Structure formats: structure tokens, C-alpha cells
Structure 1
Amino acid sequence: MSTTQSERLRELLEPLVASQGLDLEEIAVDSVGRKRVLRVVVDSEDGADLDRVADVSRALSAKLDETDAMGEGEYTLEVGTPGAERLLTEHRHYARALGRLAKFQLADGAELVARIVQVDDEGLDLEVPGVKGRRPTTRRLGFPDVVRARVQVEFNRKDKKEEEA
């Protein structure tokens, strides 16, 4: 059974990322001209600040230097966190997006923008914003009903601390 370079890198790097208290969300190896770029995306329940990203970057760099996982030739290591409009692909992504507005593409072809208010093993409870002054409604989505989901940027979003005050 052959494995791709990304799979081999994931097996090598995931335990190291986990030891830093982070989740390895994504690995991608891209060619940029003659150089290669290894992009690693990490996250955690409480987010990954710049110091944590720098620490894990140093640890990954040292691990890669002591192995031949990237083969011969130069490469650039880029370690970062998911963007503001991250895709939701794992159960933990949905749980981390509690209270956030997300855009859903549904299996029936419909599109829905709603706030995630609850996540369990079967699906999501959502608050669908009201239109033209109407009150928000609730909706339940099972995970099999969701084809794609992405967090939406909200410029006027109230912080949890503001809501509790």
C-alpha cells in the first residue's frame, strides 16, 4: 500500500503537534517554481496564538531537519492557523464555531446562513436570522445533510464577554 508524502508527513508530525497541545488540521506540500512549500495548519480548543505557533514551528523544523521526510532539495516551512472563514470539516470544527455564523451548502442543493447554537454527535442546532424584522427561527441539521460549511466573518459580532455582561 503506497502512501502519499502528505500522509507520511502527517504520521511524522501529528504526534509532535499534539504534544504541543494543538491539533494538526492540514498539511499541504506545494511546488512554487523550483522550491517546495510545506504548509502546516494547527489549531486548538482555545485557539493558537503567535507564541504557540512559533513554538510548534521550531519543533516541526527540528523534526524535519533530523529526518529525510521532505527528501532532497530546499523547501520552506509555513505554519499557521485556519483563516477567519475556515471550512468546517470535522466535528471539533463545528464545536469550536459555537456562536458563530456559518454558511451551509446542503445535500438538497439549498444554501443556508445561520448561527451555530448547539453541536452533538448527530448534528447541529442553528438559529436562522429573521428577515425584514422577523424573529430568528431554529433549525436542526444532521451532519449528513451538510455538504459544505464555512464560518462567516462578522464585523459587528458581539464577543462572548460582551454578551455575558
Structure 2
Amino acid sequence: MTTPAEIEKMIAQTALRDQSAFSALYDATSGKLFGVCLRVLNNRGEAEEVLQEVYIRIWHKADNYAVTGHSPMTWLITVARNLAIDRLRTRKAPTRDIETVFDLADEGPGPEAAAIASSQRTQLNACLDELEPERADAVKQAYLAGETYKDLAARHAVPLNTMRTWLRRSLLKLKECLTR
């Protein structure tokens, strides 16, 4: 059995990039650290992967180990335990609310929003009916169908600036109508 002083020496030599000391450290501690990973993860394959990450971390962070009089195994076990817990956290699926789990969420508007939209649509249609038919058509084509002013002017056989005036005045009339 390896003593704490010997493990401390192996960690110190590992900090100096001594590969034989690192190998000896692995041989002396891997069984215990694997047990810690396996206990946390309860999955042999994941525990083996995390154990590999533990020794990579030890190789890179050995110089952070400080001799404090406590067992060096405490530091090694803490590294293993923390990495295993990190893996456990990433394994768990993110929590979702009940609507997402059962896919009950309706993508459409709710009843209140649908009623308001219907009311607004009715009011807008009534206001559009107050406009001259060709101007109402121009407003619908420009703002609902995305037709250009130039295309509208050609369709209605009016100059471009006249079409702009029609649309601007029609929008002002719609605004006035909708605020009544």
C-alpha cells in the first residue's frame, strides 16, 4: 500500500511532468478514484471516461496541489468526484414544463387573442369599405400583399406620386376610422 507521503511525492513529480511518477500515481490511485466515479455515475462506461478526464486534469493541475498535512487522496478524490458530478449534470436532460413534455402547447392564439383579432379584423374591414374601392384595393395590395408602389401605379394607371398620395390619404382615413 502506498503511503500519503509517497502519493504527495508522485503528485509533486507529476507537476514537473515526470511521466514515470504519473504512471506510478495512476497505478496507486486509479482503483479508488474509479470507485468514486462509479459510485456517482452508476455507469461503468461513463466512470471509465471520467476517470480518464480525472487523470488528464491531474496531469495539468498537479502544480495546484498544496501539501497541507491532509491526505493527498482527499485532493484526488475531490477532483474525481467533481468531474463525475459534472458528467452527471450533463447527462440529465434539461427539465421542461408539462406543456412541452406532452406537447400540449397550442401554437395559435388563445381564445381571448382570437376574439380581439376577430373584432379588430371586422373593424378594419368596415373602415376599408368606407374607402373608394380602387383605393381600398391599393392599400390591401401594398400593405397586405407587399406589392410595390410602382406596380400599383401601373395597375391603376396613375402616376407614381399619385399612388403615394392615395395610399397616404387612405391610411389617414383608416386611422381616423379606427379611432372612432
Normalised TM-score (structure 2): 0.21
Structure with a larger share of its residues in strand: 1
